[in-house]
Amino acid sequence: MSILVVAEHDNSALKPATLNAVAAAVAIGGDIDVLVAGSDAGSAAAEAAKVAGVSKVLHAEGAEYANALAENLAPLVVSLAGGYSHVLAAATTSGKNVMPRVAAALDVAQISEIIEVVDAETFVRPIYAGNALATVKSSDATKVITVRATAFEAAAAEGGSAGVESAASAGDAGMSTWNGSELSKSERPELTSAGIVISGGRGMQSGDNFPMLEGIADKLGAAVGASRAAVDAGFVPNDYQVGQTGKVVAPELYVAVGISGAIQHLAGMKDSKVIVAINKDEEAPIFQVADYGLVADLFKAVPELSDEIDKVRG
């Protein structure tokens, strides 16, 4: 068996979820090659070569790969896929954008967001917002798979010594251009890989109140997330959304503040190790999944939380 992992990177460094996709490849077993397609992406390719378990890095260079446009990246992956039994990518917005395009071009199914490898043909994936887990078996010649990062412990970033080979570009499809991005800037850890996440919901009432949560996040080295309602209301940007149709997180500690606990939100955080809920409504469904629930007005509890954390960490 041989597996191709499509790396996600910003041309200079790998995105952490790539390491989780490599871990899923290790669970399948076989030779693991990593494709780094980018523009001036030599340092990302060199980083991929150091990842434990990787046999070879394929490095495709070209301006057409600078921003991972699916129209350009998918044909490259398709041109390489012939030699592989499996093609994997992390189930990030980038992986979700590109991989179904690869699968359809290969005339195979895609298996979305696997959380477990049963064997090389059989995988477990959540459906219905994680309220059911389906075990599916594929007999397609090439298995095209996206990997839920939180379900596979990241492969070690160091320890490997793979060779880097260059791969020929498949060219610019000439159908799409990238105009620019508006990325949220933050010194805090990335939501999906943070050890602690503190999220606010509609109960926060306004974006002006989020600095309360940010202050605590900074003390704990945590990331800040949100419910859909908080994003829809414009309190925080879209990339904060945790849930079925947002980001999936599974930190050591998840603190939900002013979030009711709709199934769509739970889908994105119920695999967290310890869950804390602060909500003034003792009937809120979030308490059914919380290890520690505090029925309180958040505007009183959150400032207290900040002070108490100072005391224990003092």
Axis crossing angle, helix 93-105 with helix 70-81, rounded to the nearest 10: 50
What are the residues facing 90 on neighbouring strands?
A: 147
Q: Which residues bind ligand FAD (CB under 6 A)?
A: 201-203, 227-230, 241-246, 258-260, 262, 264-265, 268, 279-281, 284, 297-299
Instruction: Give 65 or 240: the residue with its C-beta nearer to ligand FAD.
Output: 240
What value, to the nearest 5°, has the Cα angle with vertex 44 and ends 39 and 45?
Answer: 90
Rounded to the nearest whole angstrom, what is the least distance from the CB of residue 185 to ligand FAD in the complex?
A: 23
Instruction: List Cβ<8 Å contacts ≥24 apart for 249-252.
Output: 249/150, 249/191, 249/192, 249/194, 249/197, 249/223, 249/225, 250/150, 250/151, 251/194, 251/195, 251/196, 251/197, 251/222, 251/223, 252/195, 252/196
Span near other proteins by CB under 8 A; candidates 50-58, 69-77, 163-171, 200-208? 69-77
Rounded to the nearest whole angstrom, what is the least distance from the CB of residue 262 to ligand FAD in the complex?
A: 4
Which 122-151 residues touch other proteins, going by CB under 8 A?
122, 126-140
Report the C-alpha gap between 159 and 161 in whole angstroms. Answer: 7
Residue 121 CB coordination number (10 Å): 15
| Residue from the set 157, 239, 280, 299 that interacts with other proteins by CB under 8 A | 239
Instruction: Give 73 or 242: the residue with its C-beta nearer to ligand FAD.
Output: 242
163 is in the binding site of which of ligand FAD, other proteins, none (Cβ under 5 to 8 A by kind)?
A: none
Residue 232 is a binding residue for other proteins (CB under 8 A): yes
Instruction: Give 165 or 291: the residue with its C-beta nearer to other proteins.
Output: 291
Span near other proteins by CB under 8 A; candidates 19-27, 157-165, 199-207, 232-240? 232-240
| Residue from the set 31, 71, 116, 214 that interacts with other proteins by CB under 8 A | 71
Which 273-302 residues touch other proteins, going by CB under 8 A?
273-276, 282, 287-296, 301
Report the C-alpha gap between 308 and 304 in whole angstroms. Answer: 6
284 is in the binding site of which of other proteins, ligand FAD, none (Cβ under 5 to 8 A by kind)?
A: ligand FAD
Instruction: Give 27 or 296: the residue with its C-beta nearer to other proteins.
Output: 296
Characterize 214-232 residue by residue with b for buried, 16 or more Cβ atoms within 10 angstroms of its Cβ, and e for exposed.
Answer: bebbeebebbbbbbbbbbe
Q: Could you tell me the two tokens for 174?
A: 């000439």
Q: Could you tell me the two tokens for 236?
A: 């925080």
Rounded to the nearest whole angstrom, what is the least distance from the CB of residue 167 to other proteins in the complex?
A: 20
